[in-house]
Amino acid sequence: MSSRRVAAPERSGGGRPRDPYIDEAVLSAALSVLSEAGYHGLSLEEVARRAGTSRPAIYRRWPGRTHLALAAIASRLNVPAPPDAGCTLCDLAEGFNVFLSAYRTIRPDVLSSLYADCAADPELRGRYLDTVIEPSRRAVGRTIEKAIARGDLRPDTDASLLLDLVASLVYYRSLFADDHMSDAEAEKAIEALLRGAAVDYDGLLAHAMAAEGHEVPHGHEEG
């Protein structure tokens, strides 16, 4: 629960600018409610109470709980720049973690329930995709493109399709499973995908292990 109670002036027409602290308090409160009660338990009354503001103040910022939930999740899904260590397996593993670290902060049932509310409305569906899907997808996509440019992945690799395969594993678990993908499952998924796309997967593995300071198993040395 937010310890800061904000009673700030709201913008009405040409009035004073809206207080950004209320925005911050409301988004923080919404994330807390989503974490505790899920999307179906997201009540504007409870969010207002925790944020120390009012329902009208929330409605002046967001038209309803769906828009509020999207804004709250967007404030949490802050995707960093894609990794670029020059080690394809390292970068893709870290890129996969970009997806996972972001999604693990949101309950899977929140994402699935919110999408169900957004799916039938083109505007809300677009907002959902822009908020939940595209930021991390773009980050990992740049990593895949660099791997192709370095010659680590086959030149005929369909970068968009490979990205969809990587991303869909995360999205599927987020939407339809009870928990997010584990680190071990992510590692196996990356191996399965790259064994089909890599020019020399064993060479990439040796490079990655050497970069991380591990002893390279016999038979995986780079030639």
Residue-level pLDDT at 17: 57
Q: Residues 43, 100: one domain?
A: no
Q: What angle do CA 101, 107, 110 make, to 5 degrees?
A: 125
Of the listed ranges 31-45, 145-159, 191-205, the one predicted with least confidence: 191-205
Residue-level pLDDT at 15: 46
Final residue of a domain: which of 35, 56, 74? 74
The DSSP 8-state label assigned to residue 134 in this structure reads: H
* SS3 (DSSP) at 198: strand
Tell me, yes or no, whether 7 lies in a domain: no
Residue-level pLDDT at 13: 46
Q: Residues 95, 52: one domain?
A: no
pTM of the shown model: 0.70
Report how far residue 157's alpha carbon sits from residue 150's, in angstroms, rounded to the nearest whole number.
13
Q: Residues 51, 122: one domain?
A: no
Report how far residue 218's alpha carbon sits from residue 203's, in angstroms, rounded to the nearest whole number.
12
CB 129, CB 114: distance < 8 Å: no
Q: Residues 82, 70: one domain?
A: no
Residue-level pLDDT at 144: 84
Q: Could you tell me where the DSSP H helices lie in the chain?
A: 20-37, 44-51, 55-59, 65-76, 88-103, 108-118, 122-128, 134-150, 159-176, 183-197, 201-211
How many Cβ atoms are within 10 Å of 147's Cβ, its own excluded?
26
Report how far residue 6's alpha carbon sits from residue 133's, in angstroms, rounded to the nearest whole number.
32
Q: Identify the CATH number of the domain in which residue 134 sits.
A: 1.10.357.10
CB 25, CB 51: distance < 8 Å: yes
**What pLDDT digit, counting tens, does each position of 123-151 carry?**
999 999 998 888 778 877 888 888 888 88
Q: How far apart are the first and last CA of the chain?
A: 57
For residue 30, what are the domain limits? 20-74
> Structural domain tally of the chain?
2
Q: Residues 94, 180: one domain?
A: yes
Of the listed ranges 66-75, 99-108, 114-123, the one predicted with least confidence: 99-108
Report how far residue 213's alpha carbon sits from residue 210's, in angstroms, rounded to the nearest whole number.
5
* SS3 (DSSP) at 153: strand
Q: Residues 117, 137: one domain?
A: yes
Supply 163's token pair: 């990205």
